[in-house]
């Protein structure tokens, strides 16, 4: 059992949980994730380690409620327990001196971007963070991202705060104008269409672009094959080979189609769950 020390809303349908997990916190690195279960019959869901404190032995997880399982996780109250938490899983982000790097945080992608940006800045890089959301009420951790970056660019689809537009616009401008000098590497983390769009923008400039794939996942150890993706014409498993991959080599068409495989079952489960808690 892993005790939930705090559970608070960050934005609409987004919660921040601080959980006791001393063994994981002691060895967690940027880019790592965990697999969590809310109860004994719950689905195993992958969650990025958004922050960790090895001294307190805690992990910070940011959860967006999409289906039944994420709703169960965010419903665990302070003082309650997650049934299981396995990790750290995946291959951590490569942290070294690149030069100038751009990290794009779309929506809930602000959570996984934060520890990577912080580590890259500590490694001596010039870190430019582009954070975006549909509306200002969906933004969170802007202060954290600002502190972890050399330059923090804020955009919203509707212009409710920051510049009006998509995160791809300032990325395109940075690449074309070279106002920050040559960009050594780009991380794009957020909604899948956004990650694909960023990869297509950087492709003509031959700038390496890493995306963090939010695949369907079951066991988190590479045994089930549920999280398989095609990268560079080869089968890779997100849980053990990722979650970060070269966005220029991802077969996005296959990736999107696999994300929809259990859509009907997920919708059925959610409808049943809602009826149970709201008779």
- Collapsed DSSP state (helix, strand, coil) of residue 249: coil
Beta strand 2-11 pairing with 81-82: antiparallel
Dist. CA 241–CA 248, nearest whole Å: 16
**All domains of the chain in start order, with CATH:** 2-89 (2.40.30.10), 100-259 (3.40.50.80)
pLDDT of the chain along its 279 residues, tens only?
799 999 999 998 899 999 999 999 999 999 999 999 998 887 888 999 999 999 999 999 999 988 888 888 999 999 999 999 998 999 999 999 999 999 999 999 999 999 999 999 999 999 999 999 999 999 999 999 999 999 999 999 999 999 999 999 999 999 999 999 999 999 999 999 999 999 999 999 999 999 999 877 777 777 777 788 999 999 999 889 999 999 999 999 888 887 766 566 666 666 676 667 665
Measured distance between the N- and C-terminal CA atoms of the chain, rounded to whole angstroms: 29
- What's the pLDDT at 34? 95
- Collapsed DSSP state (helix, strand, coil) of residue 127: strand
- What's the pLDDT at 85? 93
Dist. CA 66–CA 101, nearest whole Å: 31
141-170 burial, b if ≥16 CB within 10 A, otherwise e? bbebbeebbeebbbbbeeeeebeeebbbbb
């Amino acid at each position: 059992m892993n005790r939930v020390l705090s559970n608070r809303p960050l934005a609409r349908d987004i919660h921040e949980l601080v959980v006791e997990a001393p063994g994981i916190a002691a060895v967690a690195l940027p880019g790592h994730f965990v697999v969590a279960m809310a109860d004994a019959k719950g689905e195993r869901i992958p969650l990025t380690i958004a922050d960790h404190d090895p001294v307190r032995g805690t992990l910070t997880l940011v959860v967006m409620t999409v289906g039944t399982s994420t709703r169960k996780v965010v419903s665990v109250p302070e003082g309650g327990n997650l049934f299981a938490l396995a990790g750290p899983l995946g291959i951590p982000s490569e942290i070294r001196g690149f030069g100038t790097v751009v990290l794009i945080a779309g929506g809930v992608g602000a959570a996984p971007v934060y520890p990577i940006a912080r580590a890259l800045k500590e490694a001596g890089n010039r870190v430019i963070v582009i954070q975006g959301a549909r509306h200002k009420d969906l933004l969170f951790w802007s202060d954290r991202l600002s502190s972890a970056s050399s330059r923090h660019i804020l955009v919203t689809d509707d212009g409710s705060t920051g510049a009006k537009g998509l995160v791809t616009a300032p990325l395109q401008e940075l690449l074309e104008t070279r106002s920050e000098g040559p960009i050594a590497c780009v991380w794009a983390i957020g909604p899948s269409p956004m990650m694909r769009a960023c990869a297509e923008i950087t492709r003509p400039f031959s700038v390496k672009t890493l995306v963090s794939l939010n695949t369907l996942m079951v066991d988190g150890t590479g045994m089930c094959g549920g999280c398989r993706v095609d990268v560079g014409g080869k089968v890779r498993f997100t849980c053990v080979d990722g979650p970060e991959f070269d966005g220029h080599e991802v077969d996005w068409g296959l990736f999107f189609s696999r994300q929809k495989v259990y859509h009907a079952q997920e919708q059925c489960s959610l409808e049943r769950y809602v009826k149970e808690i709201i008779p």
